[in-house]
Amino acid sequence: MSTESQTCISRVQSIYQQNYGYPELCVKSPGRINLIGEHTDYNLGFVLPAAIDKAIYIAMGKRTDAEIHLIAADVNESFSVSITELSKSSLEWPNYIMGIVDQLSKLGLPIGGFNAVIAGDVPLGAGLSSSAALECAAVFALNELFGLALSKLEMVKLAQRAENQFVGLQCGIMDMFASMFGKAGEVIRLDCRSLEYHYTPFNQRGIKIVLLDTCVKHSLASTEYNVRRKECEFGVSEIQKNHPAVCSLRDVNTDMLLAIQNKVDKKVFNRCKFIVEEIKRLQDACIDLEHNDMIAFGEKMYMTHAGLSNLYEVSCKELDFLAAFSKGKESVLGARMMGGGFGGCTINLVKEELVEEFILEAEFAFEKEFDTKLKSYIVSIGDGTSLVSID
Ligand code: GLA
């Protein structure tokens, strides 16, 4: 276990002890990256994410009453509510936990009051799914604490519903799936329609995964995300007029798409075009990965970026700048914006021996262009949600 992990565990444990006595358990749930396949999850295509070595930690124990008492150590805030009176909080972070509790009660699963302390080292708002990590940590911990016997997949689906219904982001399943099912050194090829998945090794390719964090946090991100989803659904409904068997953009080919080109708004057409291309691109990229052709894989990442920026319109000038910067570098095999968009990070596959040089150059160029500091993280692929031992 890394020093960062140990520090977070000791932190949640000691803050828990100061406030509530000895915790009954502690759960670690990681953030995620996604190599390729963006916005394809809710269109029932494929994604290629992995859990990272940065995580959210939650220490938890039962209470004798029906209240929930929470402390978020990193922001030094606390929150309490009765289990029967859940309602959205302006603090935001408690909503992820209340969303989980809300779903458990919708399933009629018996839980009582509990205390929890949260801390972590997943950068917030950077597109690394700290929120899904928190939801997975909470559902995993409650499942253990109250002996609910939910499977990992049930917990993933429950966490997604919590985000959709309580938090209000109509996200797909990728983030929770990656956090829960992550495996050290492996990326997950997930079919978001059948939920079949398999692991592909990513280590030993002489490549480091470098995230460049613009630190841009766009307030429109969740509204625009939901709009993209609606635009895709609208495209599908138009295609269905001629092809009733089509259920999602996963079932759509180029001919079907071209047939609606003059019937729908250009934006809707472009959104659908990107998704249809991205689903195909991911499948091709997986073949590159099998053949260890990281050059071809990297080229597809640049194409994904171009599509996200021009057709799906979820990029921003800082992300475009970083993707273009990486494209000109010998040291980088592929780069693109990652996650929902409108800010956050680019993901860069960088030749191991040139990582430090690349980061220094990127930091310099970014500061020169935007007069603001760039953050960077070298991440490795870690295990998914699990119990961690406490002393
Ligand atoms: C966010 C959502 C995911 C996925 C990505 C884009 O991270 O939570 O479900 O749609 O954006 O690929």
- For ligand 1, is residue 41 a contact (CB within 6 Å)? yes
Q: Are residues 228 and 138 in the same domain?
A: no
Closest by alpha carbon to 40, among 340, 260, 319, 288?
A: 340
- Residue 220: what pLDDT? 65
Q: Are residues 8 and 123 in the same domain?
A: yes
Please name every residue paired with 207 in a beta bridge, in sequence order, or none if there are none.
Answer: 351
Mean pLDDT of the chain: 96
Q: Are residues 95 and 180 in the same domain?
A: yes
**Portion of the chain with pLDDT greater than 90, in percent:** 94
Given pLDDT bands bounded at 50, 70 and 90, which one contains residue 219? low
Two tokens, residue 389 = 């031992």
For residue 126, how many other CB atoms are within 10 A of its CB? Answer: 23
Distance 391 CA to ligand 1 centre (A): 36
**Domain extent for 304:** 207-379
Distance 84 CA to ligand 1 centre (A): 30
Q: Are residues 183 and 279 in the same domain?
A: no
Q: Are residues 14 and 118 in the same domain?
A: yes
CATH number for 350:
3.30.70.890
Q: Is 198 exposed, middle or buried (0-12, 13-18, 19+ CB in 10 A)?
A: exposed
Q: Alpha-carbon distance 335 to 347, whole Å?
A: 5
Amino acid at site 108: G
Residue 55 has pLDDT above 70, yes or no: yes
Q: Are residues 263 and 183 in the same domain?
A: no
Of all protein residues, whose CA lies closest to atom 1 belonging to ligand 1?
A: 340
- For ligand 1, is residue 38 a contact (CB within 6 Å)? yes
Of all protein residues, whose CA lies closest to atom 9 belonging to ligand 1?
A: 172
Residue 221 has pLDDT above 90, yes or no: no
Q: Are residues 61 and 161 in the same domain?
A: yes
Q: Alpha-carbon distance 295 to 273, whole Å?
A: 24
Output the CA torsion sign for 35, 36, 42, 45: negative
Domain count, the chain: 2
- Residue 352: what pLDDT? 96
- Residue 203: what pLDDT? 76
Q: Alpha-carbon distance 147 to 20, whole Å?
A: 21
- For ligand 1, is residue 49 a contact (CB within 6 Å)? no
For the stretch 257-284, pLDDT in tens is: 999 999 999 999 999 999 999 999 999 9
- For ligand 1, is residue 39 a contact (CB within 6 Å)? yes
Q: Alpha-carbon distance 28 to 9, whole Å?
A: 8
Q: Are residues 96 and 234 in the same domain?
A: no
CATH number for 161:
3.30.230.10
Distance 227 CA to ligand 1 centre (A): 13
Radius of gyration of the chain (CA): 21
- For ligand 1, is residue 172 a contact (CB within 6 Å)? yes
Distance 340 CA to ligand 1 centre (A): 5
Q: Are residues 44 and 67 in the same domain?
A: yes
- Residue 284 and residue 300 in contact, taking contact as beta carbons nearer than 8 Å: yes
Q: Are residues 148 and 216 in the same domain?
A: no
**Portion of the chain with pLDDT greater than 70, in percent:** 99
- Residue 26 and residue 13 in contact, taking contact as beta carbons nearer than 8 Å: yes
DSSP per residue, 77-128:
EEEEEEGGG----TTSHHHHHHHHHHHHHHTT-----EEEEEEE-SPTTSSS
- Residue 82: what pLDDT? 97
For the stretch 68-111, pLDDT in tens is: 999 999 999 999 999 999 999 999 999 999 999 999 999 999 89
Q: Are residues 122 and 228 in the same domain?
A: no
Nearest-10 crossing angle of helices 130-145, 174-181: 60
Supply the residues annotated as catalytic.
Answer: 175
- For ligand 1, is residue 174 a contact (CB within 6 Å)? yes
- Residue 285: what pLDDT? 97
Q: Mean pLDDT throughout 147-171?
A: 97
Q: Are residues 183 and 242 in the same domain?
A: no
